[in-house]
Amino acid sequence: MPSTTITAIPGVVRRLATSVLGHSATASTPVSAHTFAATASYSYAYLTSSLAAVRHSSTATAATTQPTRQEALSTFRGLLRAARHFGPYNHREYVRRRARDAFREHRAEQDPAAVRRLLDDAASQLAVAQRQGRISALYGAARLVVE
């Protein structure tokens, strides 16, 4: 079977392989494909449970922290930055307009729980806009006259 070293394995998988193989494993420890395949199911289960724990702890932490002006401005600027990555003019302007309108609509909100919920929704929208912007960047679009 082919053998590789831990350094040839990308990012998260390398950290998981190192943790599965033990603390004595170094970056140059040879790992056979069979050994790595045998640990893959354990690694996947470990990864999914770790991600679930991180999500749960970050949700619990986010729910208890007070929303800050800096966090709101950061999310707003992130949405505006994400809009730049869209190819078609109409898509870029839609993301910008949606961000501006949503933040203006809820500008006067005072309840910390409602503000936290709104910021969490905005953060999820930011993730969607970033992902869609990357996809949009893959397909070139001709510039319009208005641009």
Which H or E run contains 19? helix 11-21
How confident is the model at residue 140, as a pLDDT? 76
How confident is the model at residue 66, as a pLDDT? 85
Long-range contacts of 77-86 (CB under 8 A, 24+ apart): 78/126, 78/130, 79/122, 79/125, 79/126, 79/129, 82/126, 82/129, 82/130, 82/133, 83/129, 83/133, 84/133, 85/130, 85/133, 85/134, 85/136, 85/137, 86/132, 86/133, 86/136, 86/137
How confident is the model at residue 39, as a pLDDT? 46
How confident is the model at residue 24, as a pLDDT? 45
How confident is the model at residue 65, as a pLDDT? 79
Q: What is the mean pLDDT of each run of 10 residues along the chain (147 residues)?
A: 48 50 49 48 51 52 73 95 91 94 94 94 95 88 73
How confident is the model at residue 25, as a pLDDT? 45
How confident is the model at residue 67, as a pLDDT? 86
